[in-house]
Amino acid sequence: MNNENNSEEIIEILRKAPKVALFSHVSPDGDCIGSMLAIGRALEKIGKEVSFYNPDPLPGYLAFLPGYSRIRQELPCPQPKILLFVDCSDLGRVNMTRSEIYGDSIVLNLDHHISNLFFGDFNWVDAQASAVGEVALTLIKRLGVEIDGDMATNLYTAIMTDSGCFEYSNTTAQTHRLTADLLDKGVDLLSIHNNIFNQKPLAQIKLLACALNGLEIHADGRLAIMTLSAEDFQESGAEQELSEGLVNHARSIAGVEVAVLLKEVGPEIKGALRSNLWLNVNEIAARFGGGGHQRAAGCTFGTPMAEAKQCITTAIEEALRIGRDH
């Protein structure tokens, strides 16, 4: 994939724009929020008027990020001419369609998903980047803005969370080089890691207990599936966003190549897919209308839990079988 795409044009458009609206994806995570806030601050430093949008309630564990309280759940009205989507593979990730965007608006798409649909008028998609935070950092540098402590905190959080603490296969030497630059700006590592990993609400641990309780192992130990029903959320007192990261507990079991967490969200079942070494879960998720990365992806089912579980189990078992045979 051409990872530079329209980067020149995007920099030029942002330089000239008086106002920019920034958008980040549903089920917000450290990468989309941190990157969006860092870019917004950089744009403000060069005199732009900026607004921040996310369709969902924000997770409390990110409340320490500078600028967090400025993110709105209402679409900017009136829309500015320049709209910048951060960490979104398609407009559906923001619960939007093109018809909701003014005809004369310019849509900029800044992302790192292999499943990106190049939905923007201008696209900058680097599927090699561990996090869109890497792309955001490059963008800010190319805008000629000096990275300050607040931007560094946001960008470090973006890169550290999406690379799984520099553990996932998307982590490169460049990831570490960029992160080292951020550390030079005075990032408080202890405080960030403590906020992200050691301040979990008790309800989240109770939700984990529910998920582990229903853990199933398939495909000779290579597939681990967990489910969370609406009752599980109710009984543990956890909001939807607290299921973030739970799938990694299934992924960490010896012998497991693929882990799945299926959760009931209203009438739908939302699936989180992870793989360890080789299986392309983006391809599996794409079969069900979703997407993401090769080792981390998601999709949504409009069926009851039992059916969704059967569908995803069959698809993954088959992929594991084919992979093993080749």
Q: By CB under 6 A, is residue 293 in contact with ligand 5GP?
A: yes
Q: Does 262 bind ligand 5GP (CB under 6 A)?
A: no
CB 45 within 8 A of CB 14: no
Measure the CA–CA gap between 153 and 222, rounded to whole angstroms: 37
The entry of ligand 5GP, Mn ion, none near residue 300 (CB within 5 to 8 angstroms by kind) is ligand 5GP
Task: Assign 252 to helix, strand or coil.
Answer: coil
Q: What's the min distance (Å) between Cβ of 149 and ligand 5GP?
A: 27
Piece of the chain touching ligand 5GP by CB under 6 A; list 5-13, 127-135, 187-195, 292-300? 292-300
Residue from 54, 89, 109, 275 in contact with ligand 5GP (CB under 6 A): 89
Q: Calculate Rg over the CA atoms of the chain.
A: 19
CA 93 to CA 28: how far, in whole Å?
10
Cβ proximity to Mn ion, 126 vs 264, nearer residue: 126
Alpha-carbon distance values, 197 to 165, 206, 249 (Å) = 11, 16, 14
Interacting positions 2-41 with ligand 5GP (CB under 6 A) = 25, 27
Q: Which does 115 bind (CB under 5 to 8 A by kind): Mn ion, ligand 5GP, none?
A: ligand 5GP
Residue 108 in contact with residue 132, Cβ under 8 Å?
Answer: no
**C-alpha closest to that of 136 among 35, 227, 223:** 35
Binding Mn ion (rule: CB under 5 A), the pick from 38, 82, 87, 233 is: 87
Stated length of the chain: 326
Listed ranges 18-26, 28-36, 195-203, 216-224: which one lies at the site for Mn ion (CB under 5 A): 28-36
Q: Which residues bind ligand 5GP (CB under 6 A)?
A: 25, 27, 89-90, 113, 115, 272, 290-293, 296-300
